[in-house]
């Protein structure tokens, strides 16, 4: 669904405006550029429609169901039925009804259970976080350093960058080349055995 967007900030003046909104973090102060990762859950209808239009291009338009391959049926059902079921909501009420329905159905078979409005918000933020991770790995592959910053005054950042109120900022990533001595000295990591479990 790609319910995210990136705002690439290269203007030194705009970066200077954003530094205090990132609470003066060194990663923001020393950034040569910033990338703001924005969650656009509000665009689910538009993105689902774009995927269905792509299906028309790949498989052909208005093909009778009996002529559709199983792969086409799965893709069309996903974007045409499952996505609207998962994302459509009215004041959170529909989400709770879906949750109760899934709770009962889940007694009899494995189910996807994250169907409430708050669940879908988490899903959108997770996928945006994965896009951010891919971006940071790509930057490292090109010899650049990045630092994700979750702490910021998101309302003010959105206003400065012209991001719609319905969108949410996932994180801001500073980009550049790190100093050999680091921001606070040698990088600290929690010991591996404390964060890894093998079963």
pLDDT for 149 beyond 70: yes
Average pLDDT over residues 75-85: 89
The pLDDT of residue 179 is above 80: no
pLDDT higher than threshold 70 for residue 183: no
> How many other β-carbons are positioned within 10 Å of the β-carbon of residue 119?
16
Query: CB atoms < 10 A from the CB of 195, how many?
Result: 8
The sign of the CA dihedral 44, 45, 50, 53 is positive
**Contact criterion met (CB below 8 Å) for 15 and 34:** yes
Beta-carbon count within 10 A of 148 CB? 17
CATH class of the region 4-42+118-195: alpha beta
- Residue 86 clears pLDDT 80, i.e. is over it: yes
Pick the more confident residue, 188 or 122. Answer: 122
**Domain-wise residue ranges, the chain:** 4-42+118-195, 43-116
Q: Quick one: pLDDT at residue 47?
A: 94
Segment 85-113 shows an average pLDDT of 85
Please state, in angstroms and as integers, the Cα–Cα distance from residue 52 to each residue in 48, 77, 85, 119, 139, following that order.
6, 10, 15, 24, 32
Mean pLDDT of all residues in 124-151: 95
What is the distance between the alpha carbons of residues 131 and 35, in angstroms, rounded to a whole number? Answer: 12
Q: What is the pTM of this model?
A: 0.83
Is 61's pLDDT higher than 90? no
Q: How confident is the model at residue 119 (pLDDT cuts 50, 70, 90)?
A: confident
Cα–Cα nearest to 152, from 13, 11, 28: 28
């Amino acid at each position: 669904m790609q319910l995210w967007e990136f705002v690439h900030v290269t203007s030194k003046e705009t970066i200077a405006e954003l530094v205090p909104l990132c609470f003066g973090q060194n990663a923001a102060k020393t950034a040569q550029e910033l990338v703001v990762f924005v969650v656009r859950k509000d665009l689910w209808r538009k993105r689902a429609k774009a995927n269905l239009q792509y299906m028309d291009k790949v498989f052909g338009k208005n093909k009778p169901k009996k002529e559709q391959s199983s792969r086409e049926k799965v893709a069309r059902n996903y974007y045409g039925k499952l996505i609207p079921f998962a994302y459509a909501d009215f004041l959170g009420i529909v989400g709770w009804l879906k949750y109760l329905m899934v709770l009962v159905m889940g007694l009899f078979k494995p189910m996807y259970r994250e169907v409430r409005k708050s669940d879908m918000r988490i899903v959108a933020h997770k996928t945006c976080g994965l896009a951010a991770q891919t971006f940071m790995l790509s930057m490292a592959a090109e010899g650049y350093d990045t630092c994700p910053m979750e702490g910021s005054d998101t309302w003010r950042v959105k206003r400065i960058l012209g991001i719609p109120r319905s969108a949410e900022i996932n994180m801001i990533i500073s980009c550049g080349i790190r100093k050999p001595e680091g921001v606070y000295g040698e990088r600290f990591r929690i010991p591996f055995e404390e964060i890894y479990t093998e079963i």
